[in-house]
A and B are shown apart, each in its own frame.
Chain A
Amino acid sequence: MEQAEDLSQYPLELTGKNVPMVRFKKVAKRYGSLTVLEHLDLDVAEGEMVTIIGPSGSGKTTVLRTLMTLERINEGVIYVDGKPLTHMEKDGKLVPASQKYLRAMRSKIGMCFQHFNLFPHMTALENCMEGPVHVLGIPRKQARERSEELLEMVGMADKRDQHPSRLSGGQQQRVAIARALAMRPKVMLFDEVTSALDPEVIGEVTNVIRRLVSDYNLTMLMVTHQMGFARDISDRVCFFYRGRIEEQAPPSELFGDPKSDRTRQFLSAVKEAV
């Protein structure tokens, strides 16, 4: 057993001006003896688009997975919208979040996966309606209208009655984005959403994400290997190395004039691969 952490050092909620939409405070995540996140501090402001890059195994995806509550953290606290996500208040103290509390907080977050993970037994439209109808309890007719709008927005309206097995990877990913948006999250997470796609369809997915950035006031966290895309879409780019942020800066700065040797090495290695 690891020693219980003193949680009193963390505030019960974030107050004051400029409360970030997402805050990682000294977050550690370990798998056995392997440390994936090493006391990570990361803030994401409301409406900000932050991209995470870095070598594999640097903890990029774990940031998203802990924020989606797919993984528990070992130390630290994650805050979303000013309130703790991984913990909750009890008798004026922070304690690990209950399932019920997690469900309430999780509704603020949406996620898209590398392998889409659409529900194969449902059509594109049904995939988008599933959450609104069976989780939020929105009337079918209303959920349907909203889902159709979203499918229209991602350019999949004409395929709404197709099952995922009949759609290409790019089409499935666009439906998956619509499915996540249908839950009206405040924070959207994109976990290598173009990594499983054929090169010629990557553009149709990145174009949808571009639209989200320009038309929606969403806070977004994205893990990607598309450096060009990260460069022209992000407000800020974080270079991860061994579970920590090695360097973070606006994209022009991080790509144009990286301060850290490790960042430089990584960027030049990526450039060579292209």
Chain B
Amino acid sequence: MSYFEFLVAHGDLLLSGTLVTAMLAAVSIALAIVLALTAGLMRLAPAGPVRWVATVYIEFFRGTSLLVQLYWIFFVLPLFGLSLDKFTAGFIGVGMNLGAYGAELVRGAILSVPKGQWEAALAINMSPLTRMRRIILPQALVIMLPPWGNLLIELLKGTALVSLISVADLTFQAKQINATTFMSAKAFGTALIIYYVMARFIITPLMRWLERSMARKLGRA
């Protein structure tokens, strides 16, 4: 069977898997951004308990395996009465895991906004909230964009693990095709290429574009 015939025979499965991966990645990214921003800001809160909650979240999700976290969310939480469908369990696991990494990026970027900016905002009598929103976060965003590009690619590749809680993503479909046809090279080779294309030709250009438009906002472009 030629590669072309392989694609004709199994293209629909690979395509549906790709769509599931893309969707799962998109929802996970949204969740990761929200969590990263929240936990990153909480880590800088003056009130101790607020900081501790964020620290526990970050330590737990960074310090343990994503795969085991997915198993927990999908297999163990139902024992406590919380049943999630596969897709939801998948994106929550991936999103929470990468959100924990993102929180540290957010925190680091906020702290690296020069002290003079905080003082200038105080000198025009800004409230801490307005200062964060109008002065600090926009500048922190520029600082953290490049590492976020890496993180999003990590996240995309991390989504492959959801196949192990039988979400029908790209990896899951490649495994199915492999199991029925034994054409391992073609099945997993195609999956590799699709992951690469999504990372290299969708996420990377998107981040580059964001970085460029941010630079323009700073009048640097």
Binding site for B on A (CB under 8 A): 68-70, 103, 106-107, 109-111, 113, 115, 117-121, 123, 130-131, 134-135, 162-166, 176, 179-180, 183
Contact = CB atoms under 8 A, between A and B. Distances in A.
Given A117-B119, A166-B219, 7 more contacts: A117-B116, A119-B121, A131-B124, A134-B126, A134-B134, A163-B219, A180-B123
A183 B120 contact: no
Nearest to A107: B125
Interface in B76-131: 114, 116-117, 119-127, 130
23 contacts: A69-B122, A70-B123, A103-B125, A110-B123, A110-B124, A117-B114, A119-B117, A119-B120, A120-B139, A121-B217, A121-B218, A130-B124, A130-B134, A131-B124, A131-B125, A134-B130, A135-B125, A135-B126, A135-B130, A163-B218, A165-B218, A180-B123, A183-B124
A180 B217 contact: no
Contacts of A103: 125, 127
A162 B218 CA distance: 10
B220 A180 contact: no
Interface residues of B, number: 22
Contacts of B149: none
A180 to B, nearest CB: 7
B135 interface: yes
A63 to B, nearest CB: 15
Q: Which of B114, B123, B220 is most buried by chain A, counting CB atoms within 10 A of its CB?
A: B123
A131 B120 CA distance: 10
Contacts of B217: 121
B112 to A, nearest CB: 14
B158 interface: no
Contacts, number: 69
B69 to A, nearest CB: 37
Nearest to A68: B123
Given A130-B134, A165-B218, A70 B139 contact: no
A104 to B, nearest CB: 9
B126 A131 contact: yes
B204 to A, nearest CB: 24
A135 B139 CA distance: 19
Contacts of B121: 119
B117 A117 contact: yes
Contacts of B127: 103, 135
A135 B127 CA distance: 8
B126 A115 contact: no
Nearest to A111: B123
Contacts of A118: 120
Interface string B128-162: 00100011001100100000000000000000000
A85 to B, nearest CB: 13
